[in-house]
Amino acid sequence: MKNFWMATWFVLSGCLAQAQQKEVRIGVLGLFHSKQIVVTPVLGKPLQCSAGAEPWLVRNPMLIELEATKLKIAGADNSLDGPIICDNSQGDVTEFVVNVPGKIARQYSGKLEIRAESRELRVVVAMGLEVAVASIVAAESPSHAPVEALKAQAVAARSYLLAGKGRHHGYDFCDTTHCQFLREAPAPGSPAFQAAAATRGLVLQYKEEVFAAMYSRSCGGRTHTLSDLGISAQGYPYFAVTCSYCLRHPEKWVAEIQAADAAELSSTESSRLNLARKLGWKTVPGNSYSSHRQNGAVVLEGVGIGHGIGLCQHGGADMARHGASFLKILEHYYPNTEVKQY
């Protein structure tokens, strides 16, 4: 029996190491479509960059600009053809701050890539899988959510990172709700950090395959299947489940749109997103709504924020407050799945 447990420990340790070392490439700060980026090293953390030539150490803030279709470092004589790649000088992760001048600055842990695109700079951070999971849990979860709800979010986020690639060219995911919301990595010891650490390497599987677990803020009282919203199932089909919290506390919304715009709206997720791109993301925030005409316009009255597929974040937090474990939360919102070590 002792040999059995020793062997099990070594297998588990190998799985954890693999999950910890796995890297994901996140496109960050793309919403700002910036032509200028400032990169600043964090005190005590080495930052070395290269652009196809001799690497250089970055000791002070470095302003990078888009010049036509090339990169230009402020103060340098020549523009650069290739991307700028930055790490700790040993090909490994380091810490740095990326600043869109006058708008936002965020600190990241990873390896940095900046390249020129047609009209903007593309910033990509290659970070460890578990760093990304903790960052997503911190950014996505409702405030004051219990730790068991955060653990459920961590497993869902990790599953999405492992199985949801392919929506972007040149990097794996973006840092917006198009993929998963991501900001800075949480501090060690924070609830989000603890939730990611406690579930390290755990993923959701359906028929022995990891799937890109979807989730939304609030479901309106009952989650949707993929077929409800005109989405073809290529793995886990999702199953509609009742959410008692959202039934008791529905997150209501009202929107008024023109009849011509309403004609473009159907019960599919794609039509909702297309209209949101046209009129604004708060126009139709969810998929559960009724409509009626009023003064020549169409009034939508809905409940639930987001697509309403998979984990309901508000419902999961309520289950945790009433004593449910993260496994019970995942079992409820993702029926017929298993939580396994990646």
Averaged over successive runs of 10 residues, the pLDDT of the chain (342 residues) comes to 34 41 93 97 97 92 94 90 94 97 97 94 97 98 96 98 92 95 95 98 97 97 95 91 97 95 91 91 91 94 96 98 98 98 92
Shared domain check, 121 and 32: yes
User: What are the tokens at 6?
Assistant: 């020793």
Please count the other Cβ atoms lying within 10 Å of the Cβ belonging to residue 214.
Answer: 23
Out of 95, 111, 129, pick the residue that ends a domain. Answer: 129
Shared domain check, 336 and 206: yes
Beta bridge partners of 140: none
Shared domain check, 191 and 81: no
**Long-range CB contacts (within 8 A, 24+) of 106-111:** 106/28, 106/29, 106/183, 106/184, 107/42, 107/184, 107/185, 108/28, 108/184, 108/185, 109/185, 111/85, 111/86, 111/87
Residue 249 belongs to some domain of the structure: yes
pLDDT recorded at residue 315: 98
Assess contact for 19 and 132: CB atoms under 8 A.
no
Residue 13 belongs to some domain of the structure: no
Q: Which of 139, 106, 141, 140 is nearest to 125 (CA)?
A: 106
Shared domain check, 115 and 36: yes
Residue 109 belongs to some domain of the structure: yes
Q: Which of 134, 62, 145, 48 is nearest to 98 (CA)?
A: 62
What would you report as the CA-atom Rg of the chain, rounded to the nearest whole angstrom?
22
**What residues contact 89, with CB distance under 8 A and at least 6 apart?**
46, 48, 55, 57
Shared domain check, 105 and 52: yes
Assess contact for 141 and 180: CB atoms under 8 A.
no
Q: How many domains does the chain have?
A: 3
pTM, to two decimals: 0.90
**What residues contact 12, with CB distance under 8 A and at least 6 apart?**
341
Shared domain check, 181 and 263: no
Domain with 183 in it = 131-213+309-317+324-341
Residue 4 belongs to some domain of the structure: no
Shared domain check, 294 and 275: yes
